[in-house]
């Protein structure tokens, strides 16, 4: 957004430059012999053409240059500037300005003033009269008219580029789509403008009707063509985004990608994505803000019928508004500068599964076809999200132990191999192996359900101690557990192992004797722990597992159980045994 200081400077520049310059040009203009009816016809043509601008990259493109050329040749610079100002004002009223955008009026007045004066100055270099009543009877006259048109065209884009760079802070390229559209319309309208100029001097103001009809018709057709082309381009983008979404197998990445693509497809200053949780309430799961990008915001919940999102959920149909006054009394949103609003349900299997809310600070920014495109893309996302959820659920089942909820051996094996994949890791890796002592006696004495209770509680205690997301805690098999510690040497691993050992042995386990009428029992469990590290005492992942396992059995189990054994200490003791 443009800050207040720049806006004040723009208003000040307009107040100083525009009225005074216009007055000076007026002083040099002779209005005594004007044909006011003819001037009215040209003014009407300019106004009608201004009703059909083509918005290219938020820059209006229309056939005004050719008409102002004829007006300048026949009525002079002052009249051309007045009619240009009227036409520009009409265009600005159509580009959805808000109170914060009113500075664009003086800005455009100054820009078109500079364009008109520059073009007139270039034309005068060819020493032609300001009002050209004569026909196009010399090649130099045609060159002067071409120079006038090209000066208008180039000045327009130079000023637009400078404005967007130094006022809006946007680093746009000079040769963008709007440049080529403006160039093509300039080339297209120039022959029609010259023909209008010639016919006007042959048959009078009636020439405006004949030639003007073709100019207006072409303007309208081109606007329809560009809109159709934009719709086709947006449909292509929706198809591409749909394929991107269906390729995602992660719920978070699917939601983030959807929000990123939505705000790139249509203009949005704020975007809210709500999830319908258990069919009871809406929960905000994504919030897009241009300053903070896509973030997760907890705690914002809506009931059915509450706010615009709750209303759309209850109604089952979307809403679209172009002005703030149309919706601000209905829904109190925390978006003080927003004007346009679009809210639509996200459906899957004829059920509303989410709500999308888009807000823009520009008026009337959301068109009907954009609403349809977003609705289509939202439904793409709903299906993609379901696929991602199913994939994650399947992945969760395949990677986790159903009893303890910890990772299973398959995941443990893949994770450890992944650390050593292709080449040895640069940082140390440690492995802790744990085996519950005399666990078979628990099953034989109290029943397998009691043993399962112990395994679940062991998993819970270990999980409370493991807070690092990079650490892999797994049920290795039976009553064995394993912990992979990336970026961890043996000294630190020994401390972690001691903490885990204490978490199991410090407190008894509560369970029931399922073999004796479910009587409550307290079990004191001990555990044997072995620790090995890479590269201190192993060269690869297989050796790391063997050495951790050896430390657990030889250093802990065979030494009386209920202790932590470090592999390199075990190795030193072995080497010190006398022969």
Parallel/antiparallel/unpaired status of strands 509-513 and 281-289: unpaired
**Residue 191 resides in a domain:** yes
From the list 80, 182, 457, 479, the catalytic residue is 479
Would 224 be classed as within a structural domain? yes
Cα separation, 521 vs 67, in Å, equals 97
**285 in the same domain as 213:** no
Q: For residue 300, what is the domain's CATH number? A: 3.30.450.40
Structural domain contains residue 183: yes
Q: Which CATH number do you get for residue 447?
A: 3.30.70.270
Q: What is the pLDDT of residue 175?
A: 65
Instruction: Using DSSP bridges, classify how beta strands 564-566 and 527-534 pair: parallel, antiparallel or unpaired.
Output: parallel
On whether both 304 and 220 belong to a single domain, the answer is no
* Residue that finishes a domain, picked among 373, 396, 419: 396
How far are the Cα atoms of 289, 331, 359, 363 from residue 321, in angstroms, in the given order? 20, 12, 10, 9
248 domain-assigned: no
378/423 same-domain check = no
Question: DSSP alpha helices (H): ranges in 298-346?
Answer: 307-315
- The answer to the question of residue 243 being in a domain is no
For residue 487 the two structure tokens come to 């970026």
pLDDT in tens, 209-227: 888 888 888 778 877 877 7
Q: What is the pLDDT of residue 97?
A: 65
What domain count does the chain have?
3
Query: Which residue among 199, 234, 269 closes a domain?
Result: 234
What's the confidence (pLDDT) of residue 102? 82
Distance CA 556, CA 536 (A): 20
Q: What is the pLDDT of residue 575?
A: 46
Distance, in Å, from the CA atom of 140 to the CA atom of 156, rounded to the nearest integer, reads 24
The Cα–Cα gap between 425 and 390 comes to: 33
Q: Can you give the CATH number for the domain in which 207 is found?
A: 1.10.1760
Residue 501: per-residue pLDDT: 96
Tell whether 413 and 385 lie within a shared domain. no
Do residues 227 and 257 both lie within one domain?
no
* β-sheet bridge partners, residue 528: 435
Residues 305, 182 within the same domain: no
For the CA atoms of 373, 375, 381, 383, the dihedral, rounded to the nearest 10 degrees, stands at -120
Residues 6+ apart with CB under 8 A from 342: 266, 318, 319, 320, 321, 357, 358, 366, 370, 371, 374
240 inside domain: no
Intervals of the chain under pLDDT 50? 130-135, 293-295, 575-579
Which residue, chain included where needed, has tokens 């403006």? Answer: 182
Domain range holding 375? 253-396
Q: Which helix (H) or strand (E) holds 355?
A: strand 351-360
> Does residue 313 sit in the same domain as residue 364?
yes
Domain end (from 396, 428, 456): 396
Same domain? 34 vs 172: yes
- Whether 339 and 427 share a structural domain: no
Same domain, 277 and 420: no
| E-strand stretches of 362-489 | 429-436, 472-477, 480-486
Is residue 479 flagged as an active site residue? yes
Tokens of 63: 């056939």
How much is the pLDDT for 130?
44
**Residue 432 belongs to some domain of the structure:** yes
Does residue 417 sit within a domain?
yes
Q: Computed from CA positions of residues 532, 537, 541, 546, in that sequence, does the dihedral angle turn out positive or negative?
A: negative
200 and 345 in a single domain? The answer is no
Co-location of 359 and 452 in the same domain: no
**Measured between alpha carbons, how far is 262 from 276 in angstroms, rounded to an integer?**
19
């Amino acid at each position: 957004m443009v800050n207040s200081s720049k806006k004040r400077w723009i208003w000040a520049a307009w107040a100083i430059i525009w009225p005074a310059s216009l007055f000076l040009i007026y002083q040099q203009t002779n209005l005594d012999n004007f044909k006011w009816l003819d001037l009215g016809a040209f003014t009407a043509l300019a106004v009608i053409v201004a009703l059909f601008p083509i918005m290219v990259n938020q820059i209006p493109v229309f056939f005004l240059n050719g008409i102002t050329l004829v007006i300048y040749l026949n009525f002079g610079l002052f009249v051309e500037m007045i009619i240009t100002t009227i036409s520009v004002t009409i265009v600005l009223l159509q580009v959805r300005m808000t109170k914060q955008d009113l500075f664009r009026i003086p800005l455009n007045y100054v820009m078109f003033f500079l364009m008109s004066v520059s073009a007139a100055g270039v034309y005068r270099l060819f020493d032609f009269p300001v009002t050209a009543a004569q026909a196009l009877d010399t090649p130099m006259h045609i060159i002067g008219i071409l120079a006038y048109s090209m000066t208008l065209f180039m000045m327009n884009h130079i000023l637009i580029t400078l404005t967007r760079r130094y006022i809006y802070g946007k680093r746009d390229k000079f040769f963008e789509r709007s440049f080529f559209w403006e160039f093509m319309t300039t080339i297209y309208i120039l022959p029609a403008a010259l023909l209008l100029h010639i016919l006007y001097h042959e048959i009078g103001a009636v020439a405006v009707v004949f030639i003007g009809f073709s100019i207006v018709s072409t303007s309208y057709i081109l606007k329809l063509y560009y809109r159709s082309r934009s719709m086709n381009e947006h449909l292509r983008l929706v198809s591409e985004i749909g394929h991107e979404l269906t390729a995602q197998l992660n719920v978070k990445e699917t939601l983030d990608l959807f929000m990123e693509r939505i705000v790139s497809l249509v203009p949005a200053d704020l975007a809210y994505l709500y999830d319908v949780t258990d069919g009871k309430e809406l929960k905000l799961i994504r919030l897009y803000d241009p300053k903070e990008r896509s973030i997760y915001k907890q705690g914002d919940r809506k009931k059915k019928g509450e706010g615009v999102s709750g209303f759309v959920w209850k109604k089952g149909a979307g809403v679209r508004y172009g002005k703030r006054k149309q919706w601000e009394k209905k829904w109190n949103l925390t978006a003080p500068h927003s004007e346009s609003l679009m809210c639509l349900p996200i459906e899957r299997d004829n059920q509303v599964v989410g709500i999308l809310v888009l807000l823009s600070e520009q008026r009337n920014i959301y068109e009907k076809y954009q609403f349809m495109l977003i609705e289509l893309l939202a439904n793409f996302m709903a299906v993609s999200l379901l696929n991602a959820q199913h994939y994650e659920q399947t992945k969760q089942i395949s990677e986790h132990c159903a009893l303890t909820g910890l990772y299973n051996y398959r995941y443990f094996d893949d994770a450890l191999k992944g650390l050593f994949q292709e080449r040895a890791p640069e940082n140390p890796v440690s492995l802790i192996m744990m085996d519950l002592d005399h666990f078979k006696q628990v099953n034989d004495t109290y029943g397998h359900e009691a043993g399962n209770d112990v395994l679940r509680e062991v998993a819970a205690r270990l999980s409370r101690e493991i807070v690092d997301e990079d650490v892999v805690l797994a049920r290795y098999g039976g009553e064995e557990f394993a912990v992979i510690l990336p970026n961890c040497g043996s000294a630190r691993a020994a401390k972690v192992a001691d903490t885990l050992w204490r978490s199991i042995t410090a407190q008894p386990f509560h369970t029931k004797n399922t073999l004796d009428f479910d009587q409550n029992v307290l079990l004191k469990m001990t555990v044997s722990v072995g620790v090995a590290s890479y590269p201190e005492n192993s060269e690869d992942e297989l050796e790391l597992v063997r050495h951790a396992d050896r430390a657990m059995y030889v250093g802990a189990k065979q030494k009386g159980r209920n202790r932590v054994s470090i592999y390199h200490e075990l190795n030193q003791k072995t080497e010190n045994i006398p022969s």
